[in-house]
Chain A
Amino acid sequence: MIKHIIQRLCSTILLLLAVSFFTFWLMHATPGSFFDSLRLNPQISPETVERYEKIYHLKDPLLVQYMHWVINILHGEWGYSFYYNVPVIHVLGSRLFNTFILSLTSFLLTWTVAIPLGVWAALRRNQWVDRVLSVLSFAAFSTPGFFLAVLVLYAASQWGGLPLGGMHSPNYDDMTILGKVRDTLLHLVIPAGVLSLSAMASLQRLMRGNMLGVLRQQYILAARAKGLPEGVVIYRHALRNAFNPMVTLLGYEFASLLSGAALIEIVCSWPGLGSLLLTAVRAKDVYVVMSSTLLAGVLLVMGNILADILLTWVDPRIRYGKKD
């Protein structure tokens, strides 16, 4: 197991290097850079620009620049945001945390709602519950998340009750700890709910399919024939087997949540990585773009590795590193 994780980490590092080099190359392949606008800014002396160019080796070939960037990252030096005028690490820290909160909340929400719903639909196959759920999940799956977010924000603006975007109320700093948590949670409701909805739809369908597949198996028939109570048959025998294939999805699910989060963040003005990346891309703020893509990659890889570990825990048949 540990060997497997180490292997995964090694391939991950290669992956992250490849992705970051690709992004780096992309950012430089385009005409114009942030330095052009710095040079035109009368408040910034040519010496400052030159100093920056020296620090970031901007006159060197691309590969050398990239090497310097990697070495700096390894030293915990994330570069400088030319747009926000602070070191990248100052902008990134809180943004990463916010995106993490948003993704994690909707992730938990998705799985805790979708799995029981999927099981429920499978047990009531072709009854009205199943039909309603399947229509709803088709609708949810087909609605663009950002559009749904706008609709919900519009509804909230008409009826009130929930904060319209942002992450904190204006008087956040004066609140007690409990009040702060409550305030953040209230602000989370719309973005996390919208984000979960489409993921929920597809997960529910998958879980339903898996469960139906398992219920057709012979061992379920055997368990019933043995006279086990229906609850035991379903929750101990069927559910665990139906759930296994879902765990492999965890990692990819997390990836799509993270991607989806970017747009929702922008619409709900949630101060996360996605909205940061959008401004950075527009301003050609190289080091912010690099760092946020890298961090998004790291989040994903962590999700995938966690899914792997979880899979061995859920399904004892799986042993990594041993050929059977």
Chain B
Amino acid sequence: MGRKINSNSRTSLAFASFRRNRMGMICLWGLVILYAMAIFADFVSPYSYKDEERNFSYCPPTRIEFRDQGKWAAPFVYHYALTFDAMHRRVYVVDRSQKYPLHFFKGGRLWGVDAPGRFYWWGADARGRDLFSRIWYGARISLSIGLLGVGISFMLGLLIGGLAGFYGGWVDSVLMRICEMFMMLPGFYLMLALRAAVPENFNSVQVYFSVVVILAFIGWASLARIIRGMALSLRERDFVLAAKTMGVPDVVIIFKHILPQTISYSMATLMLTVSSYILAEAGLSVVGLGIQDPVPSWGNLLSDAMSIVPVLFAPWILLPGLFIFIAVMCFNVVGDALRDAFDPMFNE
């Protein structure tokens, strides 16, 4: 009983030291906000992700106006009219004769404008879909795929790393050779090859889960190695010996005494793995092999931006990249802060 209290206080000590890390806390709140926006995407975005208006292809960001003919007014937007310039390029000009008031909390959405008007706060994509809305719907995919993938890899890593570390000997060397094999594979090549095995006619949910499985399949090996290292040192501890002499079966020792100890320590690595999975999903989707249009993910939102021409006249389509950056950065910083918080105790 005394040991349990002791281990709890260690963990809470680590969290206390994490809370003192200013950058870590800022990034943790950043993640909370990103996930909240993703969960409430239906509410915060003015349009659905597949709501398209072809006449507004690459419409520039709509400015929210507060002043009407020199006087303050309730927020509204002007109409953007599509015309062609002297070079026959599409340009949008602000049509000040038509204005649409912004309405709030209408039809279950936070904000929007009435039908003939369109409200593109962060611009529109090639098919006239609202980028702001699509980024938050895309966040659902991009942010959840990392967590799910890490969940699966972590299970695999715990099982295999735990077995290898606890038994040692030939079990360890066989399992570790397999891990090394997976670590030596060029990840992206393997991802492409695996993706080739996924049937073309999968629907978006099936594609989503196959991407998760592919990511987990590639990433479990390094987690398993880390957990194995911890299990190797944990199995020498007195409490394992005590459990053994009491006749506790190996399975129970591994799952009840060793693995729970590794979880808090491997949390930092898990954070870093989530961020690498977010990047991997984006990479897969950006070349058109991940999540398929019209369902948005941060990766496939960027696929338009992969050729330079659309970027030149609609630079706002680069925005999803900024969100990938923010999410990955937050996970990295939080992971780093967690490592700082936990590390001195593991090394003691």
Q: Report whether chain A binds chain B.
A: yes
Q: Are B283 and A300 in contact (CB under 8 A)?
A: no
Q: Are A296 and B311 in contact (CB under 8 A)?
A: no
Q: Are B184 and A138 in contact (CB under 8 A)?
A: no
* Distance between Cα atoms of A301 and B286 in the complex (Å): 28
Chain A residues, Cβ within 8 Å of B156? none
Chain B residues, Cβ within 8 Å of A11? 177
**B305 is an interface residue with CB less than 8 A from chain A:** yes
Chain A contact patch, size range? 35 or more
Give the contact stretch, choosing among A151-159, A177-185, A220-228.
Answer: A151-159
* Distance between Cα atoms of A300 and B199 in the complex (Å): 29
**A245 is an interface residue with CB less than 8 A from chain B:** no
Chain A residues, Cβ within 8 Å of B192? 262, 277-278, 281
Measured CB to CB, the closest approach of chain A to B233, in angstroms, equals 19
Q: Are B311 and A154 in contact (CB under 8 A)?
A: yes
Q: Are A29 and B197 in contact (CB under 8 A)?
A: yes
Q: Are B196 and A259 in contact (CB under 8 A)?
A: no
**Residue from A30, A256, A263 within 8 A of B196 (CB atoms):** A30
* Distance between Cα atoms of A23 and B190 in the complex (Å): 8
Q: Are B181 and A263 in contact (CB under 8 A)?
A: no
Known contacts A147-B324, A150-B305, A255-B184; A142 and B197 CB within 8 A of each other: no
Q: Are B186 and A30 in contact (CB under 8 A)?
A: no
Known contacts A146-B283, A147-B302, A296-B189; A289 and B196 CB within 8 A of each other: yes
Known contacts A144-B325, A147-B302, A154-B315; A26 and B188 CB within 8 A of each other: no
With most chain A CB atoms within 10 A of its CB, the pick from B287, B324, B333 is B287
Chain A residues, Cβ within 8 Å of B306? 146, 150, 266-267
Q: Mark B270-311, 1 if CB is under 8 A from A, else 0.
A: 000001000100110011010000000000001001101001
Known contacts A27-B197, A30-B199, A138-B332; A301 and B283 CB within 8 A of each other: no
Measured CB to CB, the closest approach of chain B to A28, in angstroms, equals 9
**Residue from B188, B194, B275 within 8 A of A142 (CB atoms):** B275
Nearest A residue to B315 by beta-carbon distance?
A154
* Distance between Cα atoms of A210 and B323 in the complex (Å): 32
Known contacts A27-B197, A281-B195, A281-B196; A263 and B329 CB within 8 A of each other: no
Measured CB to CB, the closest approach of chain B to A269, in angstroms, equals 9
**Residue from A144, A256, A258 within 8 A of B324 (CB atoms):** A144
**A141 is an interface residue with CB less than 8 A from chain B:** yes
Chain B residues, Cβ within 8 Å of A277? 189, 192-193
Q: Which residues of B, 168-199, contact A by the 8 Å Cβ criterion?
A: 177, 181, 183-190, 192-199
Measured CB to CB, the closest approach of chain A to B131, in angstroms, equals 16
Q: Mark B315-340, 1 if CB is under 8 A from A, else 0.
A: 10010010011001100110010000
With most chain A CB atoms within 10 A of its CB, the pick from B279, B324, B329, B336 is B279
29 contacts between A and B (CB under 8 A): A11-B177, A19-B181, A138-B336, A139-B329, A142-B275, A142-B328, A142-B329, A143-B328, A144-B279, A144-B328, A146-B283, A146-B302, A146-B306, A147-B325, A154-B308, A157-B308, A259-B187, A262-B186, A262-B188, A262-B192, A263-B283, A263-B286, A274-B189, A277-B189, A278-B287, A281-B193, A282-B289, A297-B185, A304-B184
Top 9 A-B pairs, shortest CB-CB distance: A142-B329, A147-B321, A26-B197, A259-B188, A142-B328, A281-B196, A262-B188, A259-B187, A296-B186
Residues of B bordering A, CB below 8 Å: 177, 181, 183-190, 192-200, 275, 279, 282-283, 286-287, 289, 302, 305-306, 308, 311-312, 315, 318, 321, 324-325, 328-329, 332-333, 336
